[in-house]
Each structure stands twice: as C-alpha cells, then as structure tokens.
Amino acid sequence: MHEDYFRVTSCQHTGSKYTIFTGVPLKADSYKINSGKYIVSIRCENQSLPIQPSVGQQWRVRGKRALETVLAGDYELQQHLYDAPDEMECTLPETGEALIRFIASEREFTGIGEAKARALWDAFGSGLHSILRSDTADHRERLKAVLSDSSITALYNGYGKYRNLAHANWLASFGIPLRVQQRILKYHDERTVDVLKNNPYALLGFGMSFGDIDVIAEQLGFEKSAPVRLAAALESAMRKRVEKGHTYATHQVLRPEVIKLLGEKDLVAEVFSNGYFNGQFILRPQTGTYHPTAQIIMESVVAKRLKTLATITDEDESVFKALTEAARELPYDLTEHQLEAVESSLTNGVSCITGGAGTGKTTVLRTVLKAYAALGYEIHAVALSGRAAMRLHESIGFFTMTIARMLREEPISPSLVQPKHLLVIDESSMIDLPTMYRIVTHLDPSVRIILTGDPNQLPPIGCGKVLSDIIESGAIANVELNIVKRQEGSTGIPEYSATINRGDVPPSLSFGAITFHETPPERVVDKCKTLYAESAHNTQIIGATKALVGELNLECQRLINPGGQRLEFKLHGDDFFIDLRVGDPILFTRNNYTVGIQNGSLGVLSSADRAFQGDQETFGVVTLDTGEEIDITEDVFDCMELGYAITLHKAQGSQFPRIIVVVQKGRISDRAWLYTAITRAEAEIHIVGQVSDFEVITKAESHANRRASFLRELLTERKRDSGVV
C-alpha cells in the first residue's frame, strides 16, 4: 500500500461513470511541494468520490499504485497512478500558507486573490475557520475589515462547499455515491454522519437501494433484526409498488418482496407489526389492504376537497342567462350532449368534461368559460406541459400557464376585489396523486374546479389515476362526450383513434393524414430520421423505449444538426462539454420549479454563449416551447437531453403538428399507449413498424386497469356518508 498527498492541478475527465484527475505532490498537511519530479494521478468510479475534484483542492490517496513515465513538454516525469484506490479524501487546509494558497486558487472564492487571502489569515489566524463555519451578521461585520460585501459572500459560498468535507470523506469510505452524498448533505448538513450512524437506512430516501444500504449497516454493526432495518424493508417494498403507480398494496404482494429483501421469513411478522405501530401504513381490515401513510393522506385530502366542492350547486337565473348568451355567440348550435356538459360545469362546484379527440371538449369548455367570465369569475387555466398550456390558450382565449408555474405563484384565493375564481385543469388524465394534492392545497376551498381530459389515455407517470377514479366514483359531475363528428377536410385522426380505443384494428392502416410505413426492426431508425428530415421544424418522434429514443436522438442530430455549436464551458479551469448543439431540440428530465422547468418540458438550445448574471455563471439559453428562456446553469446540466425523439410519457399532454410513432411489441406497449400516441398529433401522423406489432398492440388491454388506487373508494364512501347513496 502506498500513500500520497497532492494538490489538484488538472481534472482530465469527468464522465457519467469515471473521473480522472491529476496533481502535484505535497508534504503531508502542508502546501509545500515534495518534488517536481513526479505527479499523482487518480482514476476512479464517480461513486467512490467524496466530492467532485477541482483545481486547487488538497487530496490524500492510499492504495496500490503503478509507476509510469509521462512527457511534460521537454521533460519526463514519473507518474504515481492510482487506479480505483482504497482510500481517497479531500482535505480542507488548516495551516496558514496552505489555506491562503487554497482560497487564492479555488474558483469558488470568486474575487479573492492571494493578497486578500493573506490579509484574512493575518487578521484572524486559525480563528478564521470558526468564523467561516457560521455565517452570522457579527462574523460578516468582522470580515468587513478585510473584504467587501461581495467578497464576503464569495468567501462563505466557497467555504460552504467544503464545510462538510469530513462528512463527505466518511460517506465515500462506505461507497455511498457522490449524487447521494450531495443530496443527504444538503438535507442533514453537519448532522449527516450522526444521522446515518443511528440509522443508515435513512439513505433509502436519497436514492440508495435497500441491498446497498444493508452492506453499510452491517459494517456499522447493525443486527439483521434491528428495528430500523425491518422498517426500511417494509418501506422499500411499499415504495416499489408506489413507483409502479399503485397507492396501496395487499399482504400477498408485499410479503414476498419483504422476504426477498430480508433474506429470511422469520422476521416478516415483526416487520408488519412494527410497521403498523410506527404508522408506516394504514391497514384496512375489511379489504386487507396496506396503504402507505403519505399516499392515504394525499388521497384523503383530495377526496375531502373534491367532495366539499361537489356540494356547491348554483342553478339560479343568472347562470342560465350566462349559458344562453355564451351559446348564442357560437357560429353553430351545440348538440344536446354538449349543452348538458356546459350546464353541468356551470351549476357544479367541481365537474369533469371528458371524451376522446374530435368529440367537442374544446367547444364545450370555451362556451363554459365565456359564461363563467360573464358571471364575474376570474379564470385560471393550467396544463401540465408548456406546449399544452399554449394550445389551451389558443383554444379558449383565456390566459393559461403550466401547473408548475401556478404552484410557484401565490395561492388562488378570493379577495374583496375578486371574490370568485375558477380553475380549469386540462389533460387531467395525466395528473398524478401528488400533483393533484399540491393543486387542491394551493387553492382556497371556494375555488371551483373543472377537469377536462380523456380517461382512455395512458395513466400518469406518478402514482394514482385521479381522473379515472373521479369518473368511476360517480361522486363528481361528469359528462362524457363520445360522438366523433366528421368534418369536411378532417385529418381522420379522431376516427382512427376511436377505432383503436375500441380495440379494433382500423380497416385501412393508412387513412386521411395518417400514413403507415411497414418497416422491419433493423430499418426503423433510418426510416424515422428520413421522415423527420422531411419537415424537421414541426415534427416529434415518439418511441416506446429509452434505448430506441436514445439511438434515434443521436442519429437525428448527426443528420439534422452535425455542425451546430456545442454547449461548452469551463469549470474550475478545465474544459467540459455536453454534446448538445445550438439548434437541437432539448428535453428536460427533472422538475426544477425554481427555474421554471419540469420533467418533460421541451425547448430548443438557442445559445451556447457563456455569461454572468450577478455572481451566477450561465452557459447558454434554452428557449422553451412556451417562449420562455431558461438560462443554463450547473443545476440544469444533468437534466438536459436531446429531444428529437421522446418517450410517450414525456409527450403526454402535448400535441405536435406532425408526429412519427414507432410501434414495437413490448411490456409497455398496449392499446392505451397507441391511442395516446396517435392523439398527440394535430395534423399529420407517420406510423413506423410492422403490421403484426400494430395489431398485437391494438388488441392488448390497457395496463392502467391493473393500477391499484383508493381515491375512488374514498369518494364513494363520502358519497354514502352524505346520504346521496
């Protein structure tokens, strides 16, 4: 075993799995270089790092090393190469010269050079560390003797990055991945190590698997029967069900999963007993179902709010007058069914307007909202995606926004100036339970709600199936529009999708604006990129799997945008890049309500130019399909992907002028998948694949029917309690 202390001088590679960085040797616990005749290099997996390496940091490494000769200009240097070392730690310099050098060279300490760093040490000596560990008004006042306000802020920001180094090194020693370290340190800060020593299974909530945590727990001396372990096994088993969309589970489903996690049967009874008394779930003896506490609370709150709204009815003369006036302005007469839907939405505190493509939902909604506006209501209309919000605005003529934006703004509540409010939620089939919970708790109880959508589409990505449960309960007013009205010049999409929704294969696979391209699997990618290139500016490819989508994105980029300016940036003095180019469509894969993006947001990389906004460096701009511009910061790098092709879950809720749908038999491809994909098109559809796959998918019953949720029962129970049933 060998050991080296060194100062980082170069970060040669930072990939998705591996990192390579190099430095010059130091004397132990010093800033002084041992020798100019050798360098220290480390190659390691990212998960073994306690912190992201950057130029100027001090590190200690221990493990097996190889000696190599490298060229440095005209000189030959010996390299101490550590490949997957046993120990690595980043150390915050404690001595004067080392700390001065560190602050002066580390980029995080913006605007503080060697002279200011030395002045700090001269003024405070070793007491500087205690000042920097706590950002208080008194400490800032003391620092003003040496630094400006902006430099003080930079000093605290830079020091904050390294404040938890000891904790980070401890976490890394147990093989906890860097991404998990960052999350748990942000949440628990200086208490992190103590928290994990008491309960390592707290890592479950930060992205680690039960099996990986089990290894750490054993190293920390936890028994197999430790209560925290048993609780974590149950939590992990229930979380697995929630991740599949369910809001509850049965004992028959949970028991085998718990046994698998624990590796034995003897502790199972204790797991469920402890879980019950610790409030991990609510047990319904009459059904034998286990309800995770978070999910049953959300379902109960949503049910209570909706049922309270359902008691509000309004059938006075002014309502019907507003209805008549709104209908009179239409260039055609509403059908009897459409009039029923308008009346239902106007006279109930909460209501649903449902139906497939071409059934007139938009016409009904536009009429309803005109009547509500005439009655003095302020209209708030939201959709899950930016593109859907824009389309909704074009359809109804009222201001619209994304749900993410609404949740960032002040809660909707009555005032003396505006006492009456209405919220419209479009594409409600996509709304999962957590989102619906956030929506209803963001509204004053008096705010009316109209939900529109198509319950035959794919269920939401998250748990629950809110719209389906609401409709099936019968507790909420709903009018389903089910007659597709054939119009002159129609694309044929409504008729085509309605046929698929019934489980029937259309008699003609190419019909109206729909073209079926019989294509063998090995030719699918080539066919799709060729079709995309024919009208790249208004086309979206939709695929069933991430692997296919990834391949399509790379091939389309090579064809459509081979020479675009790449997104490049300097970080800690080193060059990095992401293979995204100006002009590329961009997909965001994570919610970040602070900057205004959510999982599934689409846009175009419109700039790759670096800039500064105050102390914040940006590396380019993405223009969303809403027209909003998102500055690219370090926080958004890891949730940006190419968006030439996307999975259907990312496309759900949006519509595109022209789509290319790839049909492939597989676990997720069913009738609801195909129906939802086809209804994403506004004007033109190209279906690529084999006829045999298309027929199998069309006849496959929707997986949504297998999703277990409890909102329907709660709404029904409340309905019975109220004496309605």
**Does this model's pTM top 0.85?**
no
Question: pLDDT > 70: what percent of the chain?
Answer: 91
Give the pLDDT confidence score for residue 578 in this predicted structure. 73
**And the tokens for 61?**
């490494």
Give the pLDDT confidence score for residue 166 in this predicted structure. 65
First CA to last CA across the chain, in angstroms?
Answer: 77
Q: Do residues 132 and 140 touch, judged by C-beta distance below 8 A?
A: no
Give the pLDDT confidence score for residue 126 in this predicted structure. 80
Cα–Cα distance for residue pair 364/341, rounded to 1 Å: 7
Least confident span in 115-119, 293-297, 461-465, 630-634: 630-634
**Is residue 34's pLDDT more than 70?**
no
Q: Do residues 23 and 29 touch, judged by C-beta distance below 8 A?
A: no
Give the pLDDT confidence score for residue 464 in this predicted structure. 95
- Confidence label for 559 from pLDDT (cuts 50, 70 and 90): very high
Tens of pLDDT, residue by residue over 273-298, are: 999 888 889 998 888 899 999 999 99
Least confident span in 167-176, 538-547, 710-719: 167-176
Give the pLDDT confidence score for residue 370 in this predicted structure. 92
Mean pLDDT for the stretch of residues 585-607: 84
The count of C-alpha atoms lying within 13 angstroms of the C-alpha of 111, restricted to the half-sphere facing its C-beta, is 14
Give the pLDDT confidence score for residue 94 in this predicted structure. 65
**Is residue 265's pLDDT more than 50?**
yes
Give the pLDDT confidence score for residue 720 in this predicted structure. 47
Q: What is the mean pLDDT of the chain?
A: 86
Mean pLDDT for the stretch of residues 181-203: 86
Cα–Cα distance for residue pair 309/119, rounded to 1 Å: 65
Question: pLDDT > 90: what percent of the chain?
Answer: 49
- Confidence label for 491 from pLDDT (cuts 50, 70 and 90): confident
- Confidence label for 725 from pLDDT (cuts 50, 70 and 90): very low
Mean pLDDT for the stretch of residues 478-499: 80
Tens of pLDDT, residue by residue over 410-426, are: 999 999 999 999 999 99
Cα–Cα distance for residue pair 201/220, rounded to 1 Å: 11
Give the pLDDT confidence score for residue 677 in this predicted structure. 94
Which CA distances in Å does 465 have to 213, 281, 283, 430, 529? 32, 20, 21, 8, 35
Secondary structure element (H or E) that encloses residue 318, with its range: helix 317-328
Q: Do residues 535 and 686 touch, judged by C-beta distance below 8 A?
A: no
Q: From the centroid of its chain, how far is CA 96?
A: 44
Cα–Cα distance for residue pair 181/199, rounded to 1 Å: 15
**Is residue 539's pLDDT more than 60?**
yes
Cα–Cα distance for residue pair 544/170, rounded to 1 Å: 41
The dihedral built from the CA positions of residue 447, 333, 363 and 395, taken in this order, carries a sign that is negative
212 versus 571: the higher-pLDDT residue is 212
- Confidence label for 161 from pLDDT (cuts 50, 70 and 90): low
Give the pLDDT confidence score for residue 33 in this predicted structure. 53
**Is residue 337's pLDDT more than 50?**
yes
